[in-house]
A and B are shown apart, each in its own frame.
Chain A
Amino acid sequence: AQSVSQHNHHVILSEAASLELGCNYSYGGTVNLFWYVQYPGQHLQLLLKYFSGDPLVKGIKGFEAEFIKSKFSFNLRKPSVQWSDTAEYFCAVNPSLGGTASKLTFGTGTRLQVTL
């Protein structure tokens, strides 16, 4: 069974600080990787995704993530956070092939608080 670990449960940063949120997954095959964000009172939105190709992917709002296959990691980064980035961030994976591709497995989430 696949699993996803997010090591940082709660992160507090000042505006303009750099961000890196860790995500590691466990799965024996090829996966698709996603980062979702949930702003307070809003629904889950897709930040970025990796299917194949260039392991460095760029998403919305200045976020990027790097897929390191050998480490089973897909860490999220942003060079300079803003107060509006305060939200909960979820890493998720699903198998690339086969009938279970729609079964997303989520990490436990990281609550990011950005202070002014």
Chain B
Amino acid sequence: KAGVTQTPRYLIKTRGQQVTLSCSPISGHRSVSWYQQTPGQGLQFLFEYFSETQRNKGNFPGRFSGRQFSNSRSEMNVSTLELGDSALYLCASSLGGSGGRSSEQFFGPGTRLTVL
């Protein structure tokens, strides 16, 4: 079974621009979660999409948004980029149930975003 894939793997943008990251979950997984990883803040939850609806949200500003398509693929968008948005953005997929194995998350390789 193919793992979680993320595109692109690397991005360089300048302040003020916007960026869209893509994530394809494991086949059969209906939940996609996004995380930001930085040396200073560690791994922080951004949001989760399940059946095309945002089900959970972390403490990030509205510049960070996402969506999920009917095939469970998800995109994350960051508008008006700031230097502090430089990070590794990780996508994780799961079956999406509320307990046990259905909540187990499998991570993709991440997209390394650099904001200049």
B90, A43: Cβ atoms under 8 Å? Answer: yes
Q: Does A100 lie at the interface of the complex (its beta carbon under 8 Å from any beta carbon of B)?
A: yes
Q: Which of B58, B109, B110 contacts A103 (CB 8 A)?
A: B58
Given the contacts A102-B33, A102-B48, A102-B56, A32 and B99 also touching, CB distance less than 8 Å: yes
Q: Count the A-B residue pairs with Cβ separation under 8 angstroms: how many?
A: 72
23 contacts between A and B (CB under 8 A): A32-B100, A34-B104, A36-B107, A42-B109, A43-B107, A45-B107, A46-B106, A49-B104, A51-B99, A51-B100, A52-B100, A101-B97, A101-B98, A101-B102, A102-B33, A102-B48, A102-B55, A102-B96, A102-B103, A103-B48, A104-B92, A106-B43, A106-B44
Within 8 A of A (CB), among B57-105: 58, 90, 92, 94, 96-105
Interface membership of chain B positions 6-37, coded 1 if the CB is closer than 8 angstroms to chain A and 0 otherwise:
00000000000000000000000001010100
Interface size on B, residues (CB 8 A): 30
Which of the four size classes fits the interface of chain A?
20 to 34
How far does the Cβ of B109 sit from chain A's closest Cβ, in whole Å? 4
Which residues on the B side are within 8 Å of A96 (C-beta)? 98-100, 103
Complex alpha-carbon distance, A45 and B43, angstroms: 14
Interface readout for A82-115 with B: 1 if CB under 8 Å, 0 if not?
0000000010101011111111111111000000
Q: Which residues of B contact A (CB under 8 A)?
A: 31, 33, 35, 42-45, 48, 50, 55-56, 58, 90, 92, 94, 96-110
